[in-house]
A and B are shown apart, each in its own frame.
Chain A
Amino acid sequence: MTSDIQVQALPVQGRRRSIDFSWPTFALLTLVLSVLVLLPLFWLVYYSFRSDTGAGATFANYIALVADPTLLRAYGLAIGMALAVGVLACIIATPMAWLVARTDLPGRRTIRMLVTASFVTPPFLGAIAYEILAAPNSGIVNIMYRSVFGLEASEYLVNIYTFSGLVFAIACFTFPYVFTLVANALDKVPSDLEDASSILGGKSMTTLRKVTIPLVLPAMLAGTLIAILQALTMFGSPAILALPAGFHVITTKIWSLFQFPPRLGLAAAAALPLLIITVILLRAQKSILGRKGYTVLGGKSGTPRITELGPWKWPAIAFVFCVLSLTIILPYLAILKTAFTGTVGDPINLSTLTLSHWRFVLFEFSATQLALRNTFLLGFLTATAVTAIALIVSYLVIRRSVPGSGFLGVLATAPVAIPGIVLGVGLFLSYANPTFQLYGTIWILLIAFMTIELPAGYQQMSSAFSGVHPELEEAGRIVGASRLRTLWDITAPLLRTSVVAAWCFVFVGTIRELSATILLTTANTKLVSVIIYDLNESGDLGAICVLGIILLAASFAVVFVANRVPVLGGSQMNTRG
Chain B
Amino acid sequence: MWKKALSAALLATGLAASPAAWAEAPAPYQITPELEAAAKAEGKVVFYTATDVAVAEKLAELFKSKYPGIAVQVERAGSERVFQRIGQEYSTGIYNADVIETSDAVHFEYFKRQGWLAPMVPQEVADKWPADERDPDGNFAAYRAHLSVIAYRTDLMKDADAPKTWEDLLDPRFKDKMVKAHPGYSGTVMTSTFVLSQLLGWDYFEKLGKQNIMQVQSSTEPPKKLAQGERALEVDGNEYNVFRLIDEGKPIKIVYPDEGTPLAVGNAAVLKQAPNPNAAKLFYAFLFSLDAQQLNSDFGGLRSFHPDVKEKADRTPLSKIKILHSDPEKLEPEIPTIKANYEKYFGT
User: Interface residues, chain A, CB within 8 Å of chain B?
Assistant: 50, 52-54, 70, 135-138, 153-154, 161, 242-248, 252, 256, 258-262, 264, 343-345, 360, 364-367, 370, 428-429, 432-435, 437, 439-440, 522-524, 534-535, 537-541
Interface pair A523/B60, CB less than 8 Å apart:
no
The residues of B that contact A259 with a CB separation of less than 8 Å are 80-81, 84, 184, 339
The residues of B that contact A440 with a CB separation of less than 8 Å are 89, 92, 94, 96
Kindly provide the distance from the CB of A163 to the nearest chain B CB, expressed in whole angstroms. Answer: 12
Stretch in B24-32, B158-166, B212-220, B258-266 with 4+ CB within 8 Å of A = B212-220
Interface pair A260/B83, CB less than 8 Å apart:
yes
A365 with B53, Cβ < 8 A, contacts A262-B10, A433-B5, A437-B94 known? yes
Contact partner, A135, options B54, B177, B230, Cβ 8 Å: B230
List B1-23 residues whose CB lies under 8 Å from chain A: 1, 4-11, 13-15
A437 with B93, Cβ < 8 A, contacts A53-B13, A137-B231, A432-B88 known? yes
Alpha-carbon distance A262/B83, docked complex (angstroms): 11
Interface pair B217/A537, CB less than 8 Å apart:
yes
Contact with A along B209-251 (1 / 0, CB 8 A): 0000111111011001101111110000000000000000000
Contact partner, B9, options A70, A137, A429, A522, Cβ 8 Å: A429
For the complex, would chain A's binding face be called helix, strand, loop or mixed by DSSP majority?
loop
Kindly provide the distance from the CB of A442 to the nearest chain B CB, expressed in whole angstroms. Answer: 13
Kindly provide the distance from the CB of B38 to the nearest chain A CB, expressed in whole angstroms. Answer: 22
**CB closest residue in chain B, given A70:** B343
Can you list 14 A-B contacts (CB < 8 A)? Answer: A53-B14, A138-B229, A256-B184, A262-B11, A264-B9, A343-B224, A344-B228, A344-B230, A345-B230, A439-B94, A522-B85, A538-B220, A538-B221, A540-B53
Interface pair A161/B214, CB less than 8 Å apart:
yes
Interface pair A360/B54, CB less than 8 Å apart:
yes
The residues of A that contact B61 with a CB separation of less than 8 Å are 364
B97 within 8 Å of A by Cβ? yes
Alpha-carbon distance A262/B13, docked complex (angstroms): 7
A523 with B228, Cβ < 8 A, contacts A366-B73, A367-B75, A433-B5 known? no
Interface pair A246/B347, CB less than 8 Å apart:
yes
B36 within 8 Å of A by Cβ? no
B305 within 8 Å of A by Cβ? no
Closest 10 CB pairs of A and B: A246-B347, A539-B224, A433-B5, A539-B221, A440-B94, A138-B230, A345-B229, A537-B217, A138-B228, A538-B218
Alpha-carbon distance A435/B1, docked complex (angstroms): 7
The residues of A that contact B97 with a CB separation of less than 8 Å are 523
B255 within 8 Å of A by Cβ? no
The residues of B that contact A136 with a CB separation of less than 8 Å are 230
For the complex, would chain B's binding face be called helix, strand, loop or mixed by DSSP majority?
mixed
Contact partner, B4, options A245, A344, A434, A437, Cβ 8 Å: A434
The residues of A that contact B184 with a CB separation of less than 8 Å are 256, 259
Kindly provide the distance from the CB of A69 to the nearest chain B CB, expressed in whole angstroms. Answer: 9
Kindly provide the distance from the CB of B229 to the nearest chain A CB, expressed in whole angstroms. Answer: 4
Contact partner, A537, options B5, B10, B75, B185, Cβ 8 Å: B185
Interface size for B (C-beta < 8 A) is 72
The residues of B that contact A344 with a CB separation of less than 8 Å are 228, 230
The residues of B that contact A135 with a CB separation of less than 8 Å are 228, 230
**CB closest residue in chain A, given B231:** A137
Alpha-carbon distance A70/B348, docked complex (angstroms): 9
A261 with B89, Cβ < 8 A, contacts A161-B214, A243-B217, A246-B346 known? no
**CB closest residue in chain A, given B216:** A244
Alpha-carbon distance A463/B217, docked complex (angstroms): 45
A261 with B347, Cβ < 8 A, contacts A435-B5, A523-B75 known? no
Kindly provide the distance from the CB of A428 to the nearest chain B CB, expressed in whole angstroms. Answer: 8
The residues of A that contact B74 with a CB separation of less than 8 Å are 366-367
Alpha-carbon distance A235/B216, docked complex (angstroms): 16
The residues of A that contact B220 with a CB separation of less than 8 Å are 538-539
**CB closest residue in chain A, given B185:** A537
The residues of B that contact A154 with a CB separation of less than 8 Å are 176-177
The residues of B that contact A437 with a CB separation of less than 8 Å are 92-94
Alpha-carbon distance A428/B71, docked complex (angstroms): 30
The residues of A that contact B185 with a CB separation of less than 8 Å are 537
**CB closest residue in chain A, given B106:** A260
**CB closest residue in chain B, given A69:** B344
